[in-house]
């Protein structure tokens, strides 16, 4: 049985996009893989959509994740959970308007572009496979530094 002190040390990260069919789930699964590959434990990574409905990831998101050899779960879409969003240590939005929409619920949200020093993450929905692969590679490149920051933050929690 886990102690309450160990529970408190677990970090929670949420990715937010519009429909939770492409960007935020690809970010979720890529970050999970990078954390696992780096041997970082104690992090829960989830994704949510402002307007998500039940259903699978888009076919192109699946193909992009497969291309990068990233494990995933196809059927899981989640609508933004307003009641427990404050439980997350980091809420990372794909676009500025996502951040503005959730700021009343979580004032410390930020965009991925703010974290990784680039603009917004364009929505590949309705575009061809290459747009999805480009988005997935953007996450893959950006998340190396994010994993280092997560590792540092986890160490601070332990000390």
Phi-psi group of 42: left, alpha or beta (phi > 0 → left; psi -120 to 50 → alpha; rest → beta):
left
For 57-75, the pLDDT digits (tens) are 899 999 999 999 999 987 6
Lateral strand order in the sheet of 90-93:
43-49, 11-17, 90-93, 110-111
pLDDT (0 to 100) of residue 104 = 78
Where are the chain's structural domains?
4-152
pTM for this model (two decimals): 0.89
Residue 94 CA: distances (Å) to CA of 76, 145, 156: 19, 17, 27
Catalytic residues: 17, 23, 123
pLDDT of residue 10: 86
pLDDT value of residue 119: 83
Distance, in Å, from the CA atom of 116 to the CA atom of 30, rounded to the nearest integer, reads 15
pLDDT value of residue 82: 63
Fold for 4-152, please state it: Rossmann fold (3.40.50)
Q: Which residues of the chain have pLDDT under 70?
A: 1-9, 75-77, 81-82, 159
């Amino acid at each position: 049985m886990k102690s309450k002190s160990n529970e408190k040390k677990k970090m929670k990260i949420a990715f937010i996009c519009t429909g939770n069919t492409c960007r935020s789930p690809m970010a979720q699964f890529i970050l999970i893989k990078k954390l696992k590959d780096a041997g970082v434990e104690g992090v829960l990574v989830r994704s949510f959509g402002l307007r998500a409905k039940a259903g699978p990831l888009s076919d192109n998101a699946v193909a992009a994740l497969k291309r990068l050899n990233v494990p995933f779960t196809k059927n899981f879409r989640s609508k933004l959970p307003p009641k427990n969003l404050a439980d997350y240590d980091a809420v990372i939005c794909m676009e500025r308007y996502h951040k503005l929409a959730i700021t009343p619920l979580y004032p410390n949200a930020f965009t991925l572009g703010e974290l990784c020093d680039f603009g917004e993450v364009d929505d590949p929905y309705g575009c061809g496979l290459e747009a999805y692969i480009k988005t997935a590679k953007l996450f893959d490149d950006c998340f190396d530094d994010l994993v280092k920051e997560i590792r540092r933050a986890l160490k601070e929690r332990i000390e």
